[in-house]
């Protein structure tokens, strides 16, 4: 049996921008991607804590240290600057792999700086 398990999570990030005129995706500070082990172009689930929206998109690497969390394209219709979001990636693991898997959870402050 295989199961979908949380792999990487950026918890309570603040949206810094929303650009409807972009092709799509979510731009995320490179430092946050690295810390959460989310890859550029990897599928992510974005849960908007502020308005309850949940969308699937893919991650685009933003400048390291910038704190950028920008909803692009259609995703921009599901949030706005100042909203709080949780960004998650998942992996599919068998029972053996699951026993050794450790999710990377990154908590950030209001400026999207890592606090834990």
Residues that are catalytic: 25, 58
User: What region does 19 belong to: left with phi over 0, alpha with psi -120 to 50, or beta?
Assistant: beta
């Amino acid at each position: 049996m295989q199961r979908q398990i949380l792999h990487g999570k950026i918890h309570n990030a603040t949206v810094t921008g929303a650009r409807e005129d972009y092709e799509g995706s979510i731009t995320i500070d490179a430092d946050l991607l690295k810390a959460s082990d989310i890859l550029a172009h990897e599928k992510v689930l974005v849960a908007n804590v502020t308005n309850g929206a949940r969308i699937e998109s893919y991650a685009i690497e933003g400048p390291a240290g910038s704190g950028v969390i920008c909803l692009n394209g259609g995703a921009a219709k599901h949030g706005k600057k100042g909203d709080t979001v949780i960004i998650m990636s998942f992996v599919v693991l068998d029972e053996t792999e699951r026993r050794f898997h450790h999710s990377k959870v990154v908590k950030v402050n209001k400026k999207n700086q890592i606090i834990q």
